[in-house]
């Protein structure tokens, strides 16, 4: 069985694992509030939102009934805890609406 020839890797070469670790560390530094999603207070707020509105609000507006799987912040909180946890700022959405429409709005600056 033939063997693969050795690869040339310069001394500054970083493997995928190292690049992934550095990328994750930069994300944690840039947006430390991402860890808030693991807190019990957020988990309780998320569950309460699904109990109040178990269906996707955007699908309802389109006349469809789809279960909500994501709690979206109507107004981006950008590290403001009171806005992050405020039930009036929460919107029940399905994953397709969140990942497609809402993310597009936020990138455009409308969110």
SS3 content of the chain, % helix, strand, coil (to 5): 55, 10, 35
- The whole-model pTM stands at 0.70
Q: How confident is the model at residue 109 (pLDDT cuts 50, 70, 90)?
A: low
User: In sequence order, what are the residues at sequence separation of 6 or more whose Cβ sits closer than 8 angstroms to the Cβ of residue 35?
Assistant: 28
- Among 9-13, 32-36, 44-48, 75-79, top mean pLDDT goes to 44-48
Q: How confident is the model at residue 34 (pLDDT cuts 50, 70, 90)?
A: confident
pLDDT score of 108: 73
pLDDT score of 107: 74
In whole numbers, what is the pLDDT of the chain averaged over residues?
Answer: 90
pLDDT digits (tens, 9 = 90+) for 48-63: 999 999 999 999 999 9
pLDDT score of 111: 52
pLDDT score of 110: 53
Share of the chain above pLDDT 90, in %: 59
Cα(21)–Cα(15) distance, integer angstroms: 10
Domain spans of the chain, in order of start = 17-108
């Amino acid at each position: 069985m033939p063997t693969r020839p050795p690869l040339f890797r310069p001394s500054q070469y970083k493997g995928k694992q190292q690049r992934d670790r550095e990328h994750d560390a930069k994300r944690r530094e840039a947006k430390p509030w991402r860890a808030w999603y693991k807190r019990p207070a957020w988990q309780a707020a998320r569950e309460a939102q699904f109990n109040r509105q178990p269906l996707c609000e955007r699908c309802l507006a389109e006349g469809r009934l789809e279960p909500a799987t994501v709690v979206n912040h109507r107004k981006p909180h950008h590290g403001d805890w009171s806005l992050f946890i405020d039930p009036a700022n929460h919107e029940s959405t399905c994953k397709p609406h969140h990942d497609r429409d809402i993310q597009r709005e936020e990138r455009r600056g409308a969110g």
